[in-house]
Amino acid sequence: MRGFIEVLPRFAHDYEVIVVNDGSTDRTREIAERLAAADPHVRVVNLEVNQGYGGAVIAGVRAARMEYVLLADGDGQFDPADIGRLVPYAFDHDVVAGRRVHRADHLMRRLNGRAWTILVRVLLGITIHDIDCGFKLFRRDQLEAIKLRARGAMISTELMARLTGASARVCEVDVSHLPRLAGEQSGANFKVVARAFKELFGLYRELQSERTAQPRRG
């Protein structure tokens, strides 16, 4: 997080860093609140009960107040300086999605990620190639216009599916991906995977129902 605090002034005169503490039982809350006390640009959103990755993302998005919202995982796998790769495209696009060209994860995780991306591209009509990259820049008004429900890892897919359905202008930009510095990977956990598939097919049915309910032109 300190890296983002140092880098953001290069790209914005006014900015905020929102730290979502998702019911952590370690010293996350203490450390985040200490940073917020020392820097007025830092705000902490404390969730008393763990809401899952999706719940944390939604809480952060709804707390945002600036014109643009950058989503970045807190595990240290993204280089804050890569904000500079996204910003030039923000003026002509509603979403600038990072794409991990050289993903710093083990082989099975990379294969699972590729399979998931292919599935959601086919099922939901999403065109980007790295759906779960946790480094994306959004126009906040686009996020405010959509409803978000996913509480697990499916949140990235839901974001892109709903924004694509709302005709958002989307582009992809190559970004760096670094070895994990903090946290534990949970993508292979059976409960996490089962929840993602449950939410995926729930979203698919909801989007199909919405399309059917739309009045036909002509």
What would the two tokens of residue 102 be? 């050289």
How far, in Å, CA of 160 to CA of 165, rounded?
8
How far, in Å, CA of 173 to CA of 177, rounded?
13
What would the two tokens of residue 164 be? 């694509």
Per-residue pLDDT of the chain (218 residues; tens, 9 = 90+): 788 999 999 999 999 999 999 998 888 899 999 999 999 999 999 999 999 999 999 999 999 999 999 999 888 899 999 999 999 999 999 999 999 988 888 888 888 888 998 999 989 989 899 999 999 999 999 999 999 999 888 999 999 999 998 999 999 999 999 987 665 555 557 788 888 899 999 999 998 888 777 666 55
Strand 135-139 to 42-47 pairing:
unpaired
Residue 80 has a CB neighbour count (10 Å cut-off) of: 19
What would the two tokens of residue 2 be? 């300190």
Domain ranges for the chain: 2-213
How far, in Å, CA of 119 to CA of 97, rounded?
18
Give the list of residues 6+ apart from residue 153 with CB closer than 8 angstroms, or none: 53, 54, 132, 186, 187, 192, 195, 196
The whole-model pTM stands at 0.88
User: What dotted CATH number matches 2-213?
Assistant: 3.90.550.10
Task: Tell me the Cα Rg of the chain.
Answer: 17
What would the two tokens of residue 108 be? 């099975």
Q: What pLDDT is attached to residue 190?
A: 76
DSSP code for 41: T
In order, the DSSP letters of 42-96 are EEEEEESS--HHHHHHHHHHHH--SSEEEEE-TTS-S-GGGHHHHHHHHTT-SEE
DSSP code for 137: E
